[in-house]
Amino acid sequence: MLTIPKEKLPIHIACIMDGNGRWANSRHLPRQAGHRAGADTVERCADFCMTHNIPWLTLYAFSSENWNRPKTEVHALMLLLHEFLKKRLHQMMEKGVRLHAIGALSRLPARTRKLLQDSLEATSGNTRLNLVLAISYGSRGEIASAARKIAEKVSRGELQPDAVTEDLFGEYLDTAGMPEPDLLIRTSGEMRVSNFLLWQISYAEIYVTDTLWPDFGDRDMEAALLDYSRRKRRFGAL
């Protein structure tokens, strides 16, 4: 049972969901089975956050680099995303989950993109948990896109160069209006951030666990939060 004081809990948790393939391989199952098991973990984590009043959860569901995987795996992942949205919308509405999505969503298959947009609109009034799916997302691309938009405004004379501050730049990112992550969790033991929220995690606390994403459960989340609660967050100051 989690006994951490509310003020010691993060407002926003971001997760790099890694290890689906290794989980499947260790069980002599196809990689798709690992991705499917990982989708169940998404629901567990969302439920955990709602139980403990953590209002923001961002999940790295599909990176811009993942498009380079074998076509059969990409196709299976898109089918799984479509299935997830179709099957879980009722649950999101019932539980009060508001869905958000960041990334190059125009690259998604048309029917999945339409289903995603419908889900975003349907859940827009929910307030219990903000669930952000990073889909077809790459942070370098996001930052470059923001820079282009600002440069275009400067070139048209709509914005002065000295008006470009960190706060203004943030308004052009996919995550505009969202709080920055307090805690970044990476499963599977890999020690890298994989082009995920590079701007937004500047001062996030990072927690890495060897647990593979499909096995990541309440006890793992509790361990991450206990570790987070012991950190002294200085944000560059003393």
Cβ neighbour number for residue 236 with a 10 Å cutoff: 6
71-95 vs 31-51: helix crossing angle, rounded to 10: 20
66 catalytic per annotation: yes
Cβ atoms of 213 and 41 closer than 8 Å: yes
Q: Is 216 helix (H, G, I), strand (E, B) or coil?
A: coil
Active-site hit among 66, 126, 195, 227 = 66
Please, are residues 21 and 31 in contact by the beta-carbon 8 Å criterion? yes
105, 116 contact by CB (below 8 A): yes
Q: Is 159 exposed, middle or buried (0-12, 13-18, 19+ CB in 10 A)?
A: middle
Active-site option among 18, 174, 182, 220: 18
Q: Could you confirm whether 18 is annotated as catalytic? A: yes
Any idea which residues carry the catalytic annotation? 18, 66
